[in-house]
Structure 1
Amino acid sequence: MASLDSVSLAILLGSVLVMAGILSSLLALRFGAPLLLVFLVIGMLAGDSGPGQLQFDDLRTTYLVGSVALALILFDGGLRTRFQSIRAVLAPSMVLATVGVLLTALITAPVAKYALDLNWTEALLVGAVVASTDAAAVFLLVHAQGLRLRPRVGATLEAESGTNDPFAVFLTLMLVELISVGHSSAWHVVLEFCREAALGALIGVVGGRLVVMALNRVALPQGLHAPFVTTAALVIFGAAQLGHASGFLAVYLAGIIIGNRPTRAHNSVVTFLDAATWLAQIVMFVLLGLLVSPQRLMSSAVAAVMVALVLMLVARPIAVFLCLAPFRFNWREKMFIAWTGLRGAVAIFLASIPMLVGLSKAYLYFDVAFVVVIISLLLQGWTLAAAARRLHVALPRADRGPRRVELDLPGQLEQELVGYSVRPKSLFFRRGLIPSWSKPTLVIRDQRILSPVEADPIAPGDYIYLLAPPEKAAALDRFFVDMLPSSAPDPHLLGDFIVSGEHTLSELAEIYGVKVNEADAKLTLADYFDVHLDHAPREGAELALDSIVLVARNIGGGRVNVVGLRLPEDEEDSGPLTRMQTLKRKLGDLWASVAGV
């Protein structure tokens, strides 16, 4: 009976720790403390050196839980990644995820060697353990602080943090093997990396496609789709690892494949995985906190702080600036990407590998990684929002998104039912705008179900349901939040073929002779972007209007307020001078009304 009681006590204590971690996140969100740090501290307090006095030194269980948690985190990240959004930054992200990790490790190694009294291989292992950024840490803190990053910066961080873990894991395992077994040729290491990456990519792509086929062809009972996909992700991870391939790369690519193809129950899968990864992170950080000994940390604390500062202030910035030099990033964007190299559970998880295989000085690697993570979360985590605004890579904060209801429609994969509450200050209510790819289907008012025709006009407080493609459903949010005040266009921005977004298509058609649908004639240019873009408008977004192209030149209040006009080449370059002068004269009247002159 005593053994049964010990099992029950372990279940009770484990569940209480997890619950404490969840509840503590409320305080962290309120006061700005990084959430991941809270979970680590809870684990430390519960450990044998804290008031909890809980004895825990099971490294195998920690590695198992860490592997599963990291696999789910990477799969969830891939599932939420739109390939279209990262395609433009794939090259710089891959360079950062491979060459950047290697450079960071190499620059950090000399400091680790002399500060911790290690040989070069051991020092390089310290650098490899702390070299990669943590996807969970980066995006949890970005979302918790309500940051909206410039699209290119956000996409680069997303792709880098999701793909640098496999390379960091490979580098760590190679160095552990080198220390354990002996010397290995550089050619062998390169071939091994290429083999693991190629095989991992193959397993991930094939596994992702098989999961998509199974989801769409097998009639699973309602509610089992999400557990099936989660289990399939772990099967892909385990199969890749068993085949000596990169399981972390495989599971991330599988997530991207599944997330970018139409599947059944996509929304329930994403919701389930969101909860699963959140719980996995909590358990992982609590277990890692339990392994820490504050007394042991003190012996290497000063040296570990030196490693952390060099890593954040020297190694990571140098690696980022060198890797992004061939690409068109300005110095502010590079500086922010360098500062957002947050370290999280991945570093501590990698540091547990030397402990698991029984390397000498294994606990030193773990303690250094732990100190680096603590300093990174405190220093970089707390200043992330301030750095984004100071470096001008943060967009104005949007209103908190509306509560969106998404319902799958059995029998087809192209459309789903998306529901919103209608707000009195929303773009939909005040301007009657809705994207061209969505279709209002029903309205709920005072407990009654009405068709859009019966409910016309829509009133605040109504619930409206629309048909929309699943991959575009989130883009509907901007039509149902309170409208931000539009910024007045800067008169100095207005010049040849640049006009205010508040002018209507009919005014533009009158000047250029372009054909405009009668239904669109009263739309302003800003409305036209809202209706026809699949996402929130961004600077540089383009839309065709008959023979000309509209280009978003300036965004204010979440809407386009200055529009550039790209004329057909024959009119821009070889048209008669009188034609150009006439256009400028007519546009001058429009500019005068905008600038108040």
Structure 2
Amino acid sequence: MPSPLVYLTLVLVIGVAAQWFAWRFRFPAILLLLVLGFALGRWADPDEIIGQSLLASVVSLSVAVILFEGGLSLRFRELAETGPAIFRLITVGCIVTWILATAFGRLLVFDTLRVAALAGAIFTVTGPTVIGPLLRHIRPHRRPSAVAKWEGIVVDPIGAILAVLVYETIPAEGPEAAAMMLTSAVLKTAAASLIVGGGGAALIVLLLRRHLIPDYLQAPIILGVVLGGFTLANELQHESGLAAVTVMGIAFANQKLVSIEHVMTFKENLGILLIGALFVVLAGRLQPENLTALGWGGVLFIVALILLIRPAAVLAATVRSTLTWRERIFIAWLAPRGIVAAAVASVFAIALSRFGPSEAIRADADRLVPLTFLVIITTVAIYGLTARHLALRLGVAEPDPQGVLIIGAGEFEREVAKALQEDGYVVKLIDSNRENVTAAKLDGLRTRHGNILSESLQEDLDLSGLGRLLAMTSSDEVNALAAIAFTHTFERAGVFQLPTPQADKKTKGQGGENRPTARRLFAPDATYNELTRRVKAGAVIKKTLLTPEFDYEAFQKQHGDRAIVLFIVSKTGDLKIRTADDTSVPVAGQKLVSLIDAAEPSSTKEKDESAMEAA
């Protein structure tokens, strides 16, 4: 048995490494986390190393942070198109799921209706721990993505509260006593969630707005408020802490008084670390014999959950909604269970196995956790391996967004956009200059007028089909700020800006280089002024297909410094944006999109034309 230090180190390393490996080879991270966690559990039992009581507390606090982080990603503006569908999914859909899961649970797995009802309540949850990573993997369009995200985050505390209500009625004698318990619990939970959650968000905003917290302490203090609010709400009413931190996250995300970007970055990084560690630890607690003891009843229950219960719930919740039938099918095939289901099931199973009012209930309690983990493993595996393929077949997801969002709509930017659009790539331009916007629209380009630094514009942008940002305005400051603003959306690898004349100079007194906020476009000297000068002097954008006879060396020999390679298109149509530090050599079969100065020799024109004919 390893020491706690060795075990915890392995948990963190495996959690992070598995997520990187899954990102690198493009498959769901959760599936790998579960497999590796189960394997680690055969060598080291987390209950013995950490202790059951401490482990339960750590899991609860971690889930609180994850739900708060999930709440931060929810924006009320997303409800404009899908609000009714989301509301019915977390109400009607939740009730349908509970009723049907209870019925099938009683028929196939459990001997008592009360534990079957508890299991049905637990299986209403999905959660950001599984929905978030899967949505990053699937990359669906905005509407189905918003519905799945809202449902996954909001239904977690609702399902947990429903499970608490069912649990508290188990020892009740008669329907009247159960009804009184339910009414009391609902009122206490609603009060605790709204007061603690709303009060916590208000406290954070007050402290930040009055600058009562130094920058380096903001994230730790907010984390303390979240954990404190979670524990306080739980003390006021059992398991109401999840609802409280979700309310806190949503309220904090939708206020307009202080910026939350720096908080979101910290919470996302912490959330990723916690998700990896939790799945590894909880999967390690599962014993193989517990799964096999469920028999065919457990397997049939999962089949019913995936093929009957989830589609029925989505159908009942989305009838007459604005969602298309393709979006409904996609949502019906996306309901993986995650950490919240595992955590809630573990807490109630321990309590019922010790203090259950009857032998039958105690026996059913021993089946609750294995069934929950079997549901988690199976739903994550099935949805994780098939949902992206289904989304692509339904046309509700992008296979690999190759389009570009261009900041600026001047003459050079318009020429770039036209060249890319001609080759079938999605292009969108944004500019605050109305003349540039009008000229771009006359050229048939998708263009939006506005300030890219405006929060409302950023929130309202439709980014379907767009995978990269090119900041190419005349202002280095605007380019840098736009790159920072969209790093969260496109990640660092997908954010580019024009170089500045000072990009390669040392910053005096700072002990390091003046590093750009994004990847530098095209070439070290491809500044806005230089590109504009070339275009005004007659430079044009040309496309050249490289062949064994006319390779990149021949291209350089004929064009020399008069050509700046902007993009490289692979044989499969993948668009590669050329950067200033890119030293790779294009090969035959690739197409170059270049800015070439005017007055080139006729021989060069002929070879370019022959190359384009070959294309």
Residue aligning to 1:218: 211
Equivalences for residues 382-421 of structure 1 within 5 A = 382-395=385-398, 397-399=400-402
User: What is residue 571 of structure 2 aligned with on the other side?
Assistant: none
Report what 1:103 is aligned to. 96
Tell me if structure 2 keeps the 8 A contact 1:74–1:162: yes
Residue identity opposite 1:112 in structure 2: G
In 1, distance between residues paired with 2:115 and 2:331?
Answer: 28
Indicate whether 1:124 and 2:117 are aligned: yes
**What is the alpha-carbon distance in structure 2 between the residues aligned to residue 327 and residue 263 of structure 1?**
34
Name the CA shift for 1:472/1:210 in 2 (closer, same or farther; >3 Å): farther
- The alpha-carbon deviation at position 88 of structure 1 amounts to 4.0
Could you say what the CA RMSD is over the residues aligned between the two structures, in angstroms?
3.8
- 2-side partners of 1:400 and 1:255: how far apart? 32
- Quote the Cα distance in structure 1 between the aligned partners of 2:489 and 2:134: 23
Does structure 2 conserve the Cα–Cα contact (< 8 Å) formed by 1:73 and 1:277?
yes
1:439–1:196 distance in 2 versus 1, CA, 3 Å: closer
Q: Deviations over 1:245-284 (max 9, x none)?
A: 7222221121122122346563321111011111221222
What is the aligned counterpart of 2:56 among 38, 56, 63?
63
SS class of match (1:223): helix
TM-score, normalising length from structure 1?
A: 0.66
1:417-456 per-position Cα deviation (integer Å, ceiling 9, x unaligned): xxxxx9997866998988532479xxxxxxxxxxxxxxxx
C-alpha separation in 2, matches of 1:12 and 1:253: 37
Q: Compute the displacement of 1:30 (Å).
A: 3.7
Q: Which residue of 1 aligns with 2:8?
A: 14
The offset of 1:213, in angstroms, is 0.9
In 2, the alpha carbon distance for the partners of 1:41 and 1:197 equals: 38
* Structure 2: gaps (5+ residues): 354-361, 408-415, 421-426, 438-446, 455-470, 498-573, 575-615
Q: Which moved more, 1:237-246 or 1:422-431?
A: 422-431
Structure 1 residue runs without a partner (length 5+): 1-5, 405-421, 441-456, 484-556, 558-597
> In the superposition, relative to structure 1, how do residues 87 and 460 fare at CA in structure 2: closer, same or farther (>3 Å)?
closer
Output the CA distance in 2 between the equivalents of 1:74 and 1:167.
12
Identity of aligned residues (%): 25
Contact 1:17 1:42 in 2 (8 A): no
Residue 217 of structure 2 corresponds to residue 203 of structure 1: no
**Is residue 382 of structure 2 the alignment partner of residue 379 of structure 1?**
yes
Q: What amino acid is the match of 1:167?
A: I
Instruction: Determine the structure 2 residue equivalent to 1:486.
Output: none
Partner of 1:368: 371
- Against the structure 1 CA distance between its residues 43 and 477, is the aligned structure 2 distance closer, same or farther, given a 3 Å change threshold? closer
Which residue number in structure 2 is paired with residue 357 of structure 1? Answer: 351
CA distance in 2, matches of 1:467, 1:396: 29
Judge conservation of contact 1:70–1:346 (CA < 8 Å) in 2.
yes
> How far apart, in 2, do the equivalents of 1:470 and 1:481 lie?
9
User: How has the CA–CA distance of structure 1 residues 268 and 107 changed in structure 2, closer, same or farther, with 3 Å as cutoff?
Assistant: same
Deviation of residue 138 (structure 1)? Answer: 1.1
Q: Secondary structure at the match of 2:170?
A: helix
State the shift of 1:228 in Å. 1.4
Contact kept? 2:118, 2:163, Cα under 8 Å = yes
Is 1:148 the counterpart of 2:147 in the alignment? no
Say if 2:141 is the partner of 1:138.
no
1:95–1:61 distance in 2 versus 1, CA, 3 Å: farther
Deviation sequence 1:130-174 (CA, Å, 0-9, x none): 2222222112111034x132x332222222111111121112122
Asked whether the equivalents of residues 45 and 52 of structure 1 are also in contact (C-alpha less than 8 Å), the reply is no
Candidates 232, 243, 266, aligned match of 2:260: 266
Which of 433, 445, 451 matches 1:437?
Answer: 451
Task: Provide the C-alpha distance between the structure 2 equivalents of 1:157 and 1:105, rounded to a whole number of angstroms.
Answer: 18
Q: Give the drift of 1:383.
A: 0.8
Q: What displacement does 1:241 show?
A: 1.7
Letter matched to residue 398 of structure 1: P
Q: Distance in 1 between matches of 2:60 and 2:93?
A: 23
Distance 1:194 1:13 in 2: 42
Q: 1:355 to 1:56 in 2, by over 3 A?
A: farther
Deviates more, 1:32-41 or 1:383-392: 32-41
Deviation, 1:58, is 3.2
- Letter matched to residue 221 of structure 1: P
Q: Is the 8 A contact 2:126 2:335 kept in 1?
A: yes
Aligned counterparts of 2:381 and 2:295: Cα–Cα separation in 1: 16
Which whole-Å CA distance do the structure 2 matches of 1:330 and 1:24 have between them? Answer: 35
* 2:71 maps to 1:78: yes
After the TM superposition, which residues 115-514 of structure 1 pair with which residues of structure 2 at under 5 Å, given as runs? 115-145=108-138, 147-149=139-141, 151-183=142-174, 184-186=177-179, 188-244=181-237, 246-262=240-256, 266-359=260-353, 360-361=362-363, 362-395=365-398, 397-399=400-402, 436-438=450-452, 465=479
C-alpha distance in 2 between matches for 1:225 and 1:338? 40
Distance 1:434 1:317, change over 3 A: closer
SS of the counterpart of 1:131?
coil
Partner of 1:34: 28
How far did 1:109 drift? Answer: 2.0
Pairwise CA distance, 1:64: 1.3
Which letter does structure 2 place at the counterpart of 1:437? N
Q: What is the alpha-carbon distance in structure 2 between the residues aligned to residue 229 and residue 42 of structure 1?
A: 32
Amino acid of the structure 1 residue aligned with 2:158 = F
CA distance 1:239–1:302, change in 2 (3 Å): same
Cα offset for 1:102?
Answer: 2.3
How many residue pairs get aligned? The number is 440
Q: SS state of the match for residue 215, structure 2?
A: coil
**Farther-moved stretch of structure 1 (296-305 vs 339-348):** 296-305
Q: CA deviation at 1:396?
A: 6.1
Give 2:263's aligned amino acid. V
- The SS at the match of 1:133 is coil
TM-score when normalising by structure 2: 0.64
Distance 2:332 2:428 in 1: 37
User: What amino acid does structure 2 have at the position aligned with 1:163?
Assistant: V
Which residue of the partner structure matches residue 84 of structure 2? 91
Whether the 8 Å CA contact 2:45–2:285 is kept in 1: the answer is no
